[in-house]
Amino acid sequence: MRAIRLHQAGGSEALLCEDAPKPIPTDNQVRVRVYATAITPTEFSWYPTSHTHNGGSRPFPIILGHEFSGVVDAIGGNCVGVQVGESVYGLSDWFIDGAQADYCLTIPANIAPKPASLDHVQSAVVPISALTAWQALIDRAQLSSGQRVLIHGAGGGVGGFAVQMARYKKAQVIATASKTNADFVLALGADQVIDYRTTPFETIVQDIDVVLDTVGGETRNRSWETLKKTGKLVTIAADAEQMTEPRVRDAFFIVEPNRAQLIEIARLIDADILKPIVGTAFPMEDFRQAYEEKPLRGKHVLRITGP
């Protein structure tokens, strides 16, 4: 099969598109014919990209791209609940090879039927961003109707879904974004958008129940003072992983695959409550360009096969 493989630590310059062995599903594994996979530029430096589950070094070459949309092509002998020919989308185990290839392996718990109203390119940008927003706002912060939520990076992949989910939960949504994205974020359902480049948000926002920090650093430091006494901050920014400050450690989490949540997210997409935000869909061979060009909003996608 064709695969984009990382041959040494580094960035997109260390990737090569080449022939690779087609994976064989065993036990409860599912092999997916990948149609599209979204680009996550920070994945090069993530812990599971260089480590195995038990802390050892992962051997090169490594295939990136852990969210995908495609069609089930084969299943292992103990695989239940998934049919060959089914269109699925999902987020697979960060520690194994990903979906920047003609085929990838996953398990039934990490995938779900793809939203019927979306094509594969649109579906591919959903799993990481929507699951992260869901696990932050609903699982961790337990956001409820009438609460005030401050969402940083609302023009981005995670922030865009978070604004739509908070709106769906009937929260009051205050968002930070650059001026270019302000109208777009309002259209997603924010009540107020603050241009982070010109206005220090903490000078105009107070009494917040929930902060979702997708940015980290100074943005997170200045966010604590906007919270009510009972307020909660949740952070997904990678710099939090290295920090020792207890409140930051408590606030940080890493998204996990979740079939039940993918099913519910697909239902909300098909009901027109959530919309995916796609940057540009690049052909597989233009993978370097897909990493190097920053999307105006949402995430870029690699189209592996299909229309």
Ligand X SMILES: NC(=O)c1ccc[n+]([C@@H]2O[C@H](COP(=O)([O-])OP(=O)(O)OC[C@H]3O[C@@H](n4cnc5c(N)ncnc54)[C@H](OP(=O)(O)O)[C@@H]3O)[C@@H](O)[C@H]2O)c1
Q: Compare residues 72 and 301 and give the one whose CB is closer to ligand X.
A: 301
Annotate 40-72 with b (16+ C-beta within 10 A) or e (fewer).
Answer: bbebbebebbeeeeeeeebeebbbbbbbbbbbb
Structure tokens belonging to residue 153 = 């990076």
Chain positions contacting ligand X, by CB under 6 A: 42, 128-129, 132, 152-153, 155-159, 176-178, 181, 196, 214-215, 219, 236-238, 254-255, 299
CB of 297 to ligand X, least distance (A): 6
Q: Compare residues 31 and 297 and give the one whose CB is closer to ligand X.
A: 297
CB of 211 to ligand X, least distance (A): 12
CB of 20 to ligand X, least distance (A): 26
Q: Compare residues 186 and 238 and give the one whose CB is closer to ligand X.
A: 238
CB of 205 to ligand X, least distance (A): 13
CB of 1 to ligand X, least distance (A): 27
133 vs 47, 105, 130, 153, 205, CA distance in Å? 21, 25, 5, 12, 21
CB of 152 to ligand X, least distance (A): 5
Beta bridge partners of 222: none
Q: Compare residues 216 and 231 and give the one whose CB is closer to ligand X.
A: 216
Q: Compare residues 102 and 213 and give the one whose CB is closer to ligand X.
A: 213
Q: Compare residues 108 and 216 and give the one whose CB is closer to ligand X.
A: 216
Which residue is closest to ligand X by CB? 156
